[in-house]
Amino acid sequence: MIGSAGRPEGTARPEKTDCTARCQPGFGTAKAWVVDLDLEKFFDRVNHDRLMRAIARRVTDKRVLRLIGAFLKVGVMENGLVSPAEEGTPQGGPLSPLLSNIVLDELDRELERRKHRFVRYADDCNIYVRSRGAGQRVMTNVTRFLTRRLKLKVNEAKSAVARPVERKFLGFSFSNNKEPKRRIAPKTLLRCKQKIRELTRRTRGISLEQMLKELTAYLRGWKGYFGFCQTPSLLKALEEWIRRRLRSMIWKQWKRGKQRYAQLRHLGIGRDLAACTAGSPHGPWHLANSPALSSALPIAYFASLGLPRLFDGDA
């Protein structure tokens, strides 16, 4: 899943988060430009004959080869009809990431032969160079290699030669510090918030407990990957936004002034503050950050319902 110049042959390839960490060392040195390659419809374009020949060089068991061949030719169902697959690997299939590495191992070897510093995970590849001019030459040469040798197409619209801080890799971008830090890419954060909005829609018609159960499962998986970032302030801000959204949703569920007052009193809020908040003309999003709701529904309240922390620094 990863390749870099100087990797001893036969050594294990690191996990996805390791790939992102491997991007950083060159940023503060002379290697301050990146050739960011995006392969167009990679999983749809893999040539079956080339792939099977590459696999046959590593696997001698004909039964395994037949199974892989059947996996590749399983086809795609559209409108109830199955179309046979002439090329490509099933995107999302359990074997596809492994097969992608077999296909692109030839690219790794070529980049190592040229002594490039690079990192690759599946079809995402970054090559680090010393100047924009060098990057343009590498982009041209590698594109030619991919097209002629591997029969793959580079997506010119999504590929670029740029400063590393201007690009993202595997959902991360990088700060412009002297010692660059991993941060969550803006588009990644937007997708996360959109998913949280979908999970916490009041109109879903499910209980708060069920909603938090689904949200917790999503956040644990998300944190397991993106908690690897080096900008904890962003995680802290996201965590605060999530709690504010949940308070806003709960406030809407309480509906009327009398119920809101009773709930606030039940959660330990004084009479005057509870009455002032329950009768406030402000909307749920504004009140979700009010002293009353922040005290009634603190971090400990959501923790008691199983909501995980994204930022583990302070309480």
pLDDT in tens, 16-49: 666 666 665 555 554 589 999 988 877 666 777 7
Query: What SS3 state is found at 34?
Result: strand
**Residue 169 pLDDT exceeds 80:** yes
Provide CB contacts within 8 A for 47, sequence distance 6+.
87, 150, 151
Question: Tell me: the pLDDT tens digits for 77-106?
Answer: 455 554 455 555 666 666 677 777 888 888
Our CA dihedral for 251, 253, 254, 256, rounded to 10 degrees, sits at 100
- Burial degree of 158 (CB within 10 A; 0-12, 13-18, 19+): exposed
For 205, 255, 285, the CA distances from 259, given in Å and listed in that order, are: 19, 7, 18
298/244 Cα distance (integer angstroms): 10
Share of the chain above pLDDT 90, in %: 45
pLDDT higher for 267 or 93? 267
The DSSP bridge partners found for residue 160 are: 36
pLDDT at 91: 61
**C-alpha closest to that of 315 among 302, 262, 51:** 302
Q: What is the 3-state secondary structure (H, E, C) of 274-294?
A: HHHHHCCCCCHHHHCCCHHHH
pLDDT (0 to 100) of residue 94:
65
